[in-house]
Structure 1
């Protein structure tokens, strides 16, 4: 992996423009082809534009010590989109969201002025969620251009934050290459981040960004999958988050006997300041996560360390942050003194209740400390039940409580949601 200097570097404008303009004729050709009538005998379902619909209702409550009022957010997300079938390797997706408040305005969605309540970052909005063109001339090459969700690996560094009603998407060009079986290289260049807070929030969009995401993975049988990555984030709208991160990740599992298997993940990364970041720093990231599967139960224990020095700390601003360091979201931003998260995660496939797809029950325990100074931040416990009701409909209930010691305040959150996909 080639190390880049701390100086600002940009994908040449001519190269970016050439990629985008190269996609325009393809888009035009695709639209023209879609508009051309197809004789009835030749038309098949696979040739048609396929519409889809997703509806997700969520009731979220937050009781946070230090804020007099508790939050209750009742929201509904309606998502409608359409995808075309491939035509000479070309396909397209367009998708829109409507996020509606369907109850009292008893929460702070970051733009509604409800500062007397805790934050539930699901503002009402109507927006274009995704609109992109995909070109796959051969199985070894994929090019995507436009607004789309980008999820790499476990989403610790790059994710679409699907947990919130509004996704995080990138306006980006992405290229995927498969040079050999079991090996893939991905590169993405993004100039705009559309965040979960929505376009009306001062932090809802990061425009004029210069983001380069490079990732490669290969299968090392029988050990597992080795992933190497480099993420260069130059974000003028949030200069303190501009950084360079280089890392390695290994994941795998091994069967021991019938119904018994071991899981493991190990990751190390080094993050340093980049470009317009006003601070100079270099911080380490470390993850060790062994686990064991016994029939329908999977147990994992983990040690995750995001280093800090008391002034700056390692940050992951493009991650799906809700999936890490506790579900009460006390550590969406790593404290200046860093974060050490020692945790246990138990997942139990409890069996079929309404459909052949099993319901899942999950428990988590976290113990949080500082990496600089050793302060005891607090502890968290959470549970999450997911129940498929039909092939298209699922329901979930989630509860999490954070007990503060030296960071933030006691916080209890609960969620009930129903989601339907058609």
Structure 2
């Protein structure tokens, strides 16, 4: 029998007013004939079935969850606009997984606890091609989200209470500064690790689209997080991403280097390097990349990325969300196919990724992992995906297989 949590019912009282607005707001906009431009409502529904078979635990996990995300977004007036967005996550069916709050530790973790939250609420001012300023609760995604991201894969977004300023003083050049005092994590406000409060977080980034070469980005991320002293750090790095036309094919390349050290309340004393090398080639519907990613560790401490969209890196089985103390060296191959035809295959993506994991110190073998994805869009409003991860341990963590079915509707 299908069970829908009472939290989902509660979500309608929180989210639907955001979606449709108050009668006063809707009426005043309509009176001017500007309702569509002044206030734009939207809603997203995302259902996911996730299963986890993890050695070392007595039960397999089955998580059937529904996310309802809805809000209103205003049009611009003299460059000013605002956005308000609510989010609700509810279990659909039996709760056969450890959501990190329900105490069901006999099951593997699926970090999608039930919740109803104010996801985003910010004001914005922008002048096209000159400046963009956002103040309030917001998702923050910088570059490829390796250091700073909103963790869009999980049902609850990671957001920041922050001020974010981007300026574009010259063609091809932009600079961003962000300051955040609070991080709202995917675990939700009921979790003891769900909120980082009273932070002193500085996000500094500058990018230049260099002709012929590609996009060059320099960054500094200074994280003073009192609620997680061990995650406090200062990271300085540079990234290059570009492509070259080979006539019928494109050469792709990404290279990144960073150095991280202790900062703020972190009691440790360390200095670790980060390295990414990712060449690739794209021809027709096929893109192939090989990569080396290296997060250094010394056996006691290791490079950390606490504000990243971690699921996108080092395998979808999520065995390396925290870098092992001996560091992580990930060599991978990534193949993506987006067929041009026949017609029934268009808008479909096929992807396969293989990872080989080792330590950066101690010469330890961690294991290997295969990832597979099939994703399909049906117009602008509907998407469906099937995803699978198989981690084969060589002594680090345990063998784990995960499967996901996800469908999403956007209006």
SS of aligned partner of 2:338: strand
Contact 2:181 2:200 in 1 (8 A): yes
Matched, 1:334 2:330: no
Q: Deviations over 1:29-58 (max 9, x none)?
A: xx9x96894685x63455320000000000
SS of aligned partner of 1:371: coil
Q: Distance in 1 between matches of 2:25 and 2:127?
A: 18
Deviation beyond 2 Å, 4+ runs, structure 1: 33-40, 42-48, 350-357
User: Partner residue of 2:391?
Assistant: 402
Contact 1:306 1:313 in 2 (8 A): yes
Matched, 1:185 2:185: no
Q: Distance in 2 between matches of 1:317 and 1:62?
A: 23
SS of aligned partner of 1:377: strand
Structure 1: 5+ residue stretches without partners:
1-30
> 1:357 and 1:420, CA in 2 relative to 1: closer, same or farther beyond 3 A?
farther
Matched, 1:324 2:313: yes
Q: Distance in 1 between matches of 2:75 and 2:121?
A: 15
Contact 2:225 2:264 in 1 (8 A): no
Structure-to-structure mapping, 1:173-212, within 5 angstroms: 173-212=163-202
Structure 2: 5+ residue stretches without partners:
1-21
Contact 2:338 2:346 in 1 (8 A): no
Contact 2:29 2:35 in 1 (8 A): no
Q: Deviations over 1:382-402 (max 9, x none)?
A: 101101123210100000100
Deviation at 1:186, TM superposition (A): 0.4
Contact 1:56 1:418 in 2 (8 A): yes
User: Partner residue of 2:377?
Assistant: 388
> 1:103 and 1:289, CA in 2 relative to 1: closer, same or farther beyond 3 A?
same
Matched, 1:292 2:281: yes
Matched, 1:163 2:153: yes
> 1:293 and 1:238, CA in 2 relative to 1: closer, same or farther beyond 3 A?
same
Contact 1:352 1:358 in 2 (8 A): no
Deviation at 1:137, TM superposition (A): 4.2
User: Partner residue of 1:70?
Assistant: 60
Matched, 1:52 2:42: yes
Matched, 1:257 2:247: yes
Contact 2:29 2:38 in 1 (8 A): no
User: Partner residue of 1:214?
Assistant: 204
Q: Distance in 2 between matches of 1:333 and 1:47?
A: 44
Contact 1:147 1:172 in 2 (8 A): yes
Matched, 1:305 2:308: no
Contact 1:99 1:125 in 2 (8 A): yes
Give the TM-score taking structure 2 as reference length. 0.92
Deviation at 1:103, TM superposition (A): 1.5
Contact 1:307 1:337 in 2 (8 A): yes
Deviation at 1:357, TM superposition (A): 5.5
Q: Deviations over 1:241-260 (max 9, x none)?
A: 000000000000111012x1
Corresponding residue to 1:135 among 125, 130, 134: 125
Q: Deviations over 1:160-212 (max 9, x none)?
A: 00000000000000000001011110000000000001111111000111100
Give the TM-score taking structure 1 as reference length. 0.89
Matched, 1:367 2:352: no
SS of aligned partner of 1:350: coil
Q: Distance in 2 between matches of 1:128 and 1:297?
A: 40
SS of aligned partner of 2:308: coil
User: Partner residue of 1:283?
Assistant: 272
SS of aligned partner of 1:59: strand
Q: Deviations over 1:142-164 (max 9, x none)?
A: 11000000000100000000000
Q: Distance in 2 between matches of 1:39 and 1:72?
A: 46
Q: Deviations over 1:10-35 (max 9, x none)?
A: xxxxxxxxxxxxxxxxxxxxx9x968
Contact 2:347 2:378 in 1 (8 A): no
User: Partner residue of 1:272?
Assistant: 261
83-92 or 349-358: which moved more? 349-358
Contact 2:350 2:374 in 1 (8 A): yes
Contact 1:230 1:245 in 2 (8 A): yes
SS of aligned partner of 2:311: helix
Q: Distance in 1 between matches of 2:382 and 2:29?
A: 35
